[in-house]
Chains A and B, each alone.
Chain A
Amino acid sequence: MENDLKQYLSLFVEETKENLQNMNDALLVLEKDKENLSLINEIFRGAHTLKGMSGTMGFINMSNLTHEMENVLDEVRNGRVNLNGDIIDILFRCFDVLGEMVNYIATYGQENNEENNELIEELQKVIAGNVTAEPNKVQVKKAVEFDEYVLNTVRKAKDEGLNGYKIQVYISPDCVLKSARAFIVLNLLESSGNVVYSNPSMDDIEDEKFDNSLTIALITNLDKEVLLEKLYGISEIEKVVVNSIDIEGSTYEEANNDKKITISPKSNNEAKAPKKDNAKVGKTVRVDIDRLDNLMNLVSELIIIKTRMEDLSNNSDMKEMEDTIEYLERVTTSLHDSVMKVRMVPLERIFNRFPRMVRDLSKELDKKVNFIMHGENTEVDRTVIDEIGDPLIHLIRNSMDHGIEKPEERLKLGKGEEGNLILKAYPDGNSVVIELSDDGRGIDFDKIREKAVEKGLYTTDDIEKLTIDDLKNILFEPGFSTSESINEISGRGVGLDVVKNKIESINGSVELETEMNKGTRFTIRIPLTLAIIEALLVKIADETYAIPINSINEIVLIDKNSIQNLHGQDIILYRGNTIPIIRLDRVMGLESDKSMDEYTAIVVRKGEKQAALIVTSLVGQQEIVIKPLGKYLSNIKMFSGATILGNGNISLIINVNSLL
């Protein structure tokens, strides 16, 4: 049994996380629109599913906590408890705790010992506090789950002398084909009477979209005992509960609880809406990411071999060979594109935690923030997505802390009390652009100047000469933070430089636009993928190296006489700027004494910095597959990886950032 459940563990973890995310999202909206019953229902269903799943998996603590949550939510949706900020806070804390529990389970395969009695008590208090205030409504506690239609039918049937039963069937969790079992149950019941209601519905059963239990309303002339006997005759049925449907109680509730009736049509619509989604889900497959990586590796191999064949065909005169290779090229290119698409994940994966973060931060900072996200469906390769989460969190914190003002201050400035923070993503050619803009106070460049002088980065004279662009760059320098107070949110000395480094490490860029009292906008541009890039292959002495195209400005020929030496550093005038010359043969330990009249130089850039890299010769531009150097060589900074060339040789990829 234990072992049987193990195989469902990853599924459990994944689905629970998804569920929690949905509940989190719904609660965030609910916080603003407290009357929205469909949201309450959604959260309730989430809690219910979690309870069911954690119970099945034997995670007692989790199931206990979700049980209490379910109780509270049930009270809320039935209008017996008024949703207020406190309850929402408690629920958010529950979500956090559940998130931790899931992470623990994901790591250790078992539950931690945290019983969360405090939270459970608080949840119980919510119910107790409210129920005593309205004691007469406790009577209708056992709410009926059937709607008016079912009840009416049952009522009519009873008048005709038939029995109305609520039947709950629990299918054994070991059951492999639970859909099939559920079908047998439904068929059997349909042959014994008239099924007026079933939860899950037939469609859901078909899609296996249900837990292990079925609830059915049946009108029949048979007795309870006969039904029980019949149902237990089906194998792999764990438990059956048959109860008469109590019409009296339900009519009583309807009469007393107007809200209940107004909910029903809504929740009916609700129930239909996700069904459409389910149909969509049915067409997708969950694949282990390792398998995709493996597939990607194979495609990379194919591309390498293709390149090799191109080399070969260039050396031979066979026309037919050329045509075939051209065709091969087309096929590999589209194969590569397809595999890349499969590996793409929507930015939503990292965006979805931001609304909650903004909410918590705004409470903490006492600021009102209207957070809007656009384009969270924009997709990037999964190699990129893991890298941009942290920088974005940093920028959001930054905007909330330094950018957006407190409500009073905003009102004084004639702005709306609520600050606007907009996160926008969209694809642009081979890259994805992510913009984060706020309508806060903007960046005060006088303050930057002051700070830069204070920190000893510049003298008072120098600072006056700097342009606005230069000042922007200072912001991205290590250890520069203008916040007056160091607090938990930002300004911990690690500043925008970390953001910039991280983004540049994945060959991206960050730009900054700002206007005093109007706001600030960060524009991040990242490549769609990191696995395959365009690179320039160069020879340094007799070794071949690759330089990523996107860090190259231009290739120039440098006359020997135009090189000037300044304190031991060779420099050259390039488009009005003096830029340093880096002799790659020297850097790679391949120095030769041979003096040349003219050098081939590759002008590269890292942000605003430029340099001319002198190489021996150019080989050509090529699509290369980046292979990581592995853990053992992880301290090497000069190379960002290696690539396998068409002839099977390995060539190192120069990390231009490390040279500047």
Chain B
Amino acid sequence: MVSEIKSKYVVFKLESNFYGLDVNNVLSIERVSKITRIPNSPEYMLGLMNLRGDVIPVIDLRLKLGLDISEVDKNTRVIIVNESDNVVGLLVDLSSEVMEIDKDCVDKPPNSGPGNELLEFVDGIGKSSDKLIVLLNLKKILTN
């Protein structure tokens, strides 16, 4: 019997870890094009990207999650997401696949001491056959 409560996630890589975003929030995955800087904005705010005539703000997800900055290379992608009409691009190292994860296979995020910026954006840890996937809370990422 197939479990009723499966969710699909777009899985991508930051540094050496895998992360997942609910597929319902993802509009498309794009290659990086020229990004225009927005003066006086936070460091993680990379700027504006021209996506087929629409102006989309792009966030460096590594910086937003408190990881180290990285160089843009040929694997770098921008995941265009929509969360309650906030249309934003998230810069990630590599986007690999869409994965179905059973609700039963999602653990609560580990409790940790203060100062871990990443954990406040984490909904849970998804377990698949070969890897662990950090499931992100997009709403928190876009409002904090």
Q: Decide if A642 touches B55 in the complex (CB within 8 Å).
A: yes
Q: Decide if A630 touches B86 in the complex (CB within 8 Å).
A: yes
Q: Decide if B53 touches A588 in the complex (CB within 8 Å).
A: no
CB distance from A480 to the nearest CB of B (A): 31
Q: Decide if B48 touches A587 in the complex (CB within 8 Å).
A: no
CB distance from A592 to the nearest CB of B (A): 15
**Chain-A contact segment, one of B11-19, B38-46, B66-74, B127-135:** B38-46
B99 at the interface (CB under 8 A from A): no
Residues of chain A with a CB closer than 8 A to B50's CB: 644, 648-650
Q: Decide if A644 touches B57 in the complex (CB within 8 Å).
A: no
Q: Decide if B38 touches A636 in the complex (CB within 8 Å).
A: yes
Residues of chain B with a CB closer than 8 A to A639's CB: 38
Q: Knowing A639-B38, A648-B34, A649-B36, say if A632 contacts B142 (CB, 8 Å).
A: yes
Q: In the bound complex, how far is the Cα of B47 from the Cα of A638, in angstroms?
A: 14
Q: Decide if B48 touches A650 in the complex (CB within 8 Å).
A: yes
Q: Decide if A650 touches B85 in the complex (CB within 8 Å).
A: no
A387 at the interface (CB under 8 A from B): no
Q: Decide if A632 touches B36 in the complex (CB within 8 Å).
A: no
A627 at the interface (CB under 8 A from B): yes
Q: Knowing A648-B34, A650-B48, say if A629 contacts B54 (CB, 8 Å).
A: no
Restricting to A614-629, which residues have a CB under 8 Å from any CB of B? 627-629
Q: Decide if B54 touches A627 in the complex (CB within 8 Å).
A: yes
Other-chain residue from B33, B34, B47, B88 in contact with A632 (beta carbon distance below 8 A):
B88
| Smallest CB gap from A305: residue in B | B53
Residues of chain B with a CB closer than 8 A to A323's CB: none
In the complex, number of A-B residue pairs with CB atoms less than 8 Å apart:
65
Restricting to A250-279, which residues have a CB under 8 Å from any CB of B? none
Q: What is the interface of chain B mostly: helix, strand, loop, or mixed?
A: strand
A633 at the interface (CB under 8 A from B): yes
B87 at the interface (CB under 8 A from A): yes
Chain A 625-660, CB-CB to B under 8 Å as 1, else 0, gives 001111111001011011010001111100000000
A483 at the interface (CB under 8 A from B): no
Q: Knowing A629-B55, A630-B55, A648-B34, say if A587 contacts B85 (CB, 8 Å).
A: no
Residues of chain B with a CB closer than 8 A to A631's CB: 85-87
Q: Knowing A631-B86, A632-B88, say if A651 contacts B36 (CB, 8 Å).
A: yes
Q: Decide if A652 touches B88 in the complex (CB within 8 Å).
A: no
Residues of chain A with a CB closer than 8 A to B53's CB: 297, 300-301, 304, 644
Residues of chain B with a CB closer than 8 A to A630's CB: 55-57, 86-88
Q: In the bound complex, how far is the Cα of B85 from the Cα of A362, in angstroms?
A: 42
Chain B 15-43, CB-CB to A under 8 Å as 1, else 0, gives 00000000000000000011011111100
A429 at the interface (CB under 8 A from B): no
A161 at the interface (CB under 8 A from B): no
Q: In the bound complex, how far is the Cα of B87 from the Cα of A641, in angstroms?
A: 15
CB distance from B4 to the nearest CB of A (A): 27
A148 at the interface (CB under 8 A from B): no
Other-chain residue from B33, B36, B54, B85 in contact with A652 (beta carbon distance below 8 A):
B36
Q: In the bound complex, how far is the Cα of B33 from the Cα of A649, in angstroms?
A: 9
Residues of chain A with a CB closer than 8 A to B54's CB: 627
**A588-B39, A627-B54 are known contacts; what are 10 more A-B pairs with Cβ within 8 Å?**
A589-B39, A589-B40, A629-B48, A630-B87, A649-B50, A650-B36, A650-B47, A650-B50, A650-B55, A652-B36
25 contacts across the A-B interface (CB closer than 8 A): A297-B53, A304-B53, A587-B39, A587-B40, A588-B40, A590-B39, A627-B54, A628-B55, A630-B55, A630-B57, A630-B87, A632-B87, A632-B142, A636-B38, A641-B55, A642-B36, A644-B50, A648-B33, A648-B50, A650-B36, A650-B48, A650-B55, A652-B36, A652-B39, A652-B48
Chain B residues in the interface with A (C-beta under 8 A): 33-34, 36-41, 47-50, 53-57, 85-88, 142
